[in-house]
């Protein structure tokens, strides 16, 4: 437990830090929640651990574009700036290099110098510096499996948890700024079975083709070696779904605008599942589960509405 003088006190604005592996992850995981909190006056900062330099071009209309492939790093930075503006958040690059997603059997080694191979002490210190600078009351990241087993997502989890635990300790990283202890840490939860089944059922009732049929058929196979998330918190953010989608589309190299992610009409999404979901992983304040607010248990402490 942090010392009393490290605990947020009354009269401060609420602050949220969302830590992600690559640019575009912030727009596909919790983006509507961020936009809602921005609308409410919360200070929101996104941290991208890597620049996404080894990401594939997933938009069919942009594949083979030599101007993009020649400088994908700059392209992805421009895309991130557009998404940031749409969501209204602040943004920081942690400064590490994308590890890529190794494929094959056996898996090839990760490339030298990539985020997945950086010593945890080094990457944690960088994030601790940002935590102490921005002083978030709440942090979000991925679970220990990274949401899916990408080496950068798993490392993002490790770094985020380590920084959450170290930032308030004056004996840890003493040159990284004045200690600051966040109060809660959450894991992003995206496509739970409950959400997928709700969308699939709604599409079938409207006689529309469901993009989730195959996903549901292979659900058990898909979940092998993955931990079933414990949803503790549902944040209502239906009014921000359009900005979430616009932010994701701003990452034009990374999404197919005609792909499955955009197949369920927004009015259907707002009606059948108007929330984004999170798992409370650490809390230094009392809160009653389930929650409807990432700042539950904190608002009274900081004097926020």
Helix, strand or coil, per DSSP, at residue 273: coil
CB 223 within 8 A of CB 11: no
* 85 sits in which H/E element: helix 72-87
- Bridge partner residues of 47 (DSSP): 19, 92
DSSP codes joined into one string, 276-292? EEEEEEEESS--PSSBS
Q: Is 24 annotated as a binding residue?
A: no
DSSP codes joined into one string, 174-209? TTS-S----SEEEEEE---HHHHHHHHHHHHHTT--
Residue 233 burial by CB count (10 A; 0-12/13-18/19+): exposed, middle or buried?
Answer: buried
Q: In whole angstroms, give the CA distance from residue 181 to residue 54.
A: 33
Closest CA to 12 of 127, 167, 137, 133: 137
Q: Is 137 annotated as a binding residue?
A: no
CA distances from 47 to 22, 60, 176, 197, 218 (A): 9, 28, 17, 31, 33
- Residue where the block lists tokens 């209309």: 61
| Crossing angle for the helix pair 31-39 and 241-250, to the nearest 10 degrees | 120
Helix, strand or coil, per DSSP, at residue 15: strand
Kindly give the pairing relationship between strand 233-236 and strand 184-189: unpaired
Q: Is 25 annotated as a binding residue?
A: yes
Query: Which residue positions form the known binding site?
Result: 22, 25, 153
Query: Which residue positions form the known binding site for Zn(2+)?
Result: 22, 25, 153
């Amino acid at each position: 437990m942090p010392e009393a003088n490290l605990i947020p006190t009354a009269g401060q604005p609420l602050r949220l830090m969302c830590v992600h592996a690559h640019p575009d992850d912030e727009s596909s995981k919790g983006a509507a929640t961020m936009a809602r909190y921005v609308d409410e006056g919360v200070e929101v900062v996104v941290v991208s651990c890597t620049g996404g330099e080894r990401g594939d071009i997933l938009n069919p209309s942009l594949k083979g574009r030599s101007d993009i492939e020649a400088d994908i790093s700059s392209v992805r930075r421009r895309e991130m700036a557009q998404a940031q503006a749409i969501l209204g958040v602040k943004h920081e690059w942690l400064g590490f290099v994308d590890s890529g997603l190794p494929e094959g059997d056996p898996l090839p080694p990760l490339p030298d110098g990539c985020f997945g191979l950086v010593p945890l002490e080094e990457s944690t210190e960088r994030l601790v510096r940002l935590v102490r600078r921005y002083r978030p009351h709440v942090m979000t990241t991925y679970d220990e499996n990274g949401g899916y087993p990408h080496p950068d997502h798993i490392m993002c989890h490790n770094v985020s948890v380590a920084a959450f635990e170290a930032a308030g300790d004056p004996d840890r990283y003493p040159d990284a700024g004045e200690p600051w202890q966040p109060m809660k840490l959450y894991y992003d939860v995206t496509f739970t079975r409950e959400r997928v089944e709700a969308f699939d059922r709604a599409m079938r009732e409207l006689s529309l083709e469901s993009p989730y049929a195959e996903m549901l058929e292979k659900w058990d196979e898909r979940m092998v070696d993955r931990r079933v998330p414990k949803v503790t918190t549902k944040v209502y953010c239906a009014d921000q779904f359009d900005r979430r989608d616009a932010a994701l589309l701003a990452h034009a190299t990374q999404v197919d605008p005609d792909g499955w992610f955009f197949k369920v009409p927004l009015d259907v999404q707002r009606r059948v599942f108007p929330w984004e979901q999170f798992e409370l992983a650490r809390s230094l304040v009392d809160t009653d589960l389930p929650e409807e607010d990432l700042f539950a248990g904190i608002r009274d402490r900081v004097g926020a509405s």
